[in-house]
Amino acid sequence: MRIRAIGLLIGMALAWTGAFFFVKTYHDGVAQQAGLIADRIEVPEDWIVVSEHVEREQFVCFNTKPCPTLSRTWQADRVLEATDLQRLTDTLGWDFELDGDCQRGDDEVGVSSVCSAVATSEGYRIQLRVDSPEPGSASMVRLRLTSAGQ
C-alpha cells in the first residue's frame, strides 16, 4: 500500500511537471509571436526605446490586465504630427483607424494623448498612441498589442 501511494505521488508530480513545461513553452511562443509583430514597426533610428513589457498568456486573463499583451514605448526625436503617425502606419500594411490630429490643446496639463491609430491583424489589436509629455517636448509613442479576443 505504501509503495503504491509513493508511486502515485511520483506519477502526479511528473505529470504536473510535464504539464507545466508544456504550458510554459506554449505561452512563451505566444509572447514571442507578439514580439515579432511589434518588431515589424520600423521607427526612425533616432527614437529611443524607453520601456517594454510583455504580459504572457495565463490560464486566467482579466479585463483590467488582458494577456498576452506587449507594450513598448519610444521617445521620438521631436514633436510628432498626424502625418508622422500616418507615415508610420502606412509602412505596416495594416488597416489602421486614425483618431486625433496630434495637436496638444493649450489648456492641457501633464502628459496628454494627442492622437492614436488602431488596427486588428493576426489575432491582435494593435494600438499606437502619441503622447505629449509637455508643450514643445518630443513626443512619446506607445505601442500596445493585445489579443483581439480581449
CA distances (Å), origin 82, targets 28, 31, 35, 79, 115: 35, 30, 25, 10, 7
| Burial label, 121 (beta-carbon count in 10 A; 0-12, 13-18, 19+) | middle
Asked whether the whole model's pTM tops 0.75, one would answer no
Q: Is 86 left (phi over 0), alpha (psi -120 to 50) or beta?
A: alpha
Q: What digits encode the pLDDT tens for the residues 15-58?
A: 777 656 555 555 555 566 777 777 888 888 999 999 988 776 55
